[in-house]
Amino acid sequence: MQESTLISRDLTEKMFKPYLNSYACGWAVSSVLDRQCTSHFGNISGFSNDFIRFVDDNISIIFLSNMNITPVLKLTREIAEVIFSESVSLPEPAVPIIFPLKEKVCGTYIFREDTENKSLEITIKNNELYVTLSKMYGAVYKFKLVPIKRDKKQTTFITEMIHEVLVIYYSVDKLEIEYTDYHGNHYILYKKSN
């Protein structure tokens, strides 16, 4: 694309000229980290990808995943922050703790907000806790829950494979969850009565 070997420079410029808001022949034209870029995100049948090209810097980042729940848009932007020496913070390393209340937290939890996900399920298998919920396009995923922090009122868990956080709050008569997905969206759920 830079050298105009496949198509002429004139056609390349037309291809990247926005015609509908910031959309240009399959490419989004925008600014990321105050740099002009063109990008294309896509996902289908469980796959997800992002291609971002920083035009003036001659840098392209391509992220391909065979799991449609991988936050490729966020990850390509974080890679760009590293490349352009922006301040980047990593999550604290997770150190698992002992969690004795596994049976108590198992069950179905209902989202308070009206979302595509109506519920999530916490189960036990081989003495480990798992969360099951539907993600993009209704695909159901099951992730191991790793307890990392606990006090009398709450326990914080993270999921394996993708960085999601569940905080379970205890009260005398109910259990509630504050769930933060990999996009940073926050949800409140309550345990369904048996």
Q: Residue 54 domain-assigned?
A: yes
Single-letter code of the amino acid located at 194:
N
What is the span of the domain harbouring residue 64? 9-83
How far apart, in whole angstroms, are the C-alpha atoms of residue 8 and residue 1?
Answer: 9
| pLDDT tens per residue, range 112-123 | 876 666 889 999
Quote the tokens at residue 193. 């009565």
Q: What is the pLDDT of residue 1?
A: 67
Structure tokens belonging to residue 114: 């009206």
Phi, psi for residue 78 in degrees, rounded to 5: -70, -35
At 115 the pLDDT is 65
Least confident segment among 56-60, 123-127, 161-165: 161-165
pTM of the model: 0.72
Q: From CA 144, how far away is CA 157, in angstroms rounded?
A: 9
pLDDT digits (tens, 9 = 90+) for 144-190: 999 999 999 999 999 987 889 999 998 877 899 999 988 788 999 99
Give the residue carrying structure tokens 């209902």. 110
Amino acid identity, residue 137?
Y
Q: How many domains does the chain have?
A: 2
Q: Mark whether 187 and 108 lie in a shared domain.
A: yes
Please check whether residue 182 is in contact with residue 164, taking contact to mean a CB–CB distance below 8 angstroms.
Answer: yes
Residues 27 and 61 grouped into a single domain? yes
Distance of alpha carbon 77 from the chain centroid: 13
Same structural domain for residues 68 and 111? no
**Residue 51, H or E segment:** strand 47-54
Average pLDDT over residues 12-41: 90
Q: 3-state DSSP call for residue 71?
A: coil
**In this structure, are 106 and 46 located in the same domain?**
no
Same domain, yes or no: 76 and 108: no
Which CATH number covers residue 140? 2.40.128
Asked which of 26, 50, 83 is the last residue of a domain, the reply is 83
Which residue has 């390393």 as its token pair?
Answer: 93
112 CB burial (10 A radius; 0-12, 13-18, 19+): exposed
If asked whether residues 64 and 113 sit together in one domain, one would say no
- Is 148 a member of any domain? yes
Under a CB-based contact definition with an 8 Å cutoff, are residues 73 and 60 in contact? no
Domain stop point among 83, 116, 138:
83
In 79-170 the beta strands, taken as DSSP E runs, fall at 107-111, 119-125, 128-134, 140-150, 154-159, 165-170
Residue 117: predicted pLDDT: 62
Tens digit of each residue's pLDDT (9 = 90 or more) over 62-116: 999 988 778 888 889 889 998 998 777 776 677 899 999 999 999 999 998 766 6
Is residue 95 domain-resident? no
Q: Tell which of 24, 54, 83 closes a domain.
A: 83
Q: Answer yes or no: is 93 within a domain.
A: no
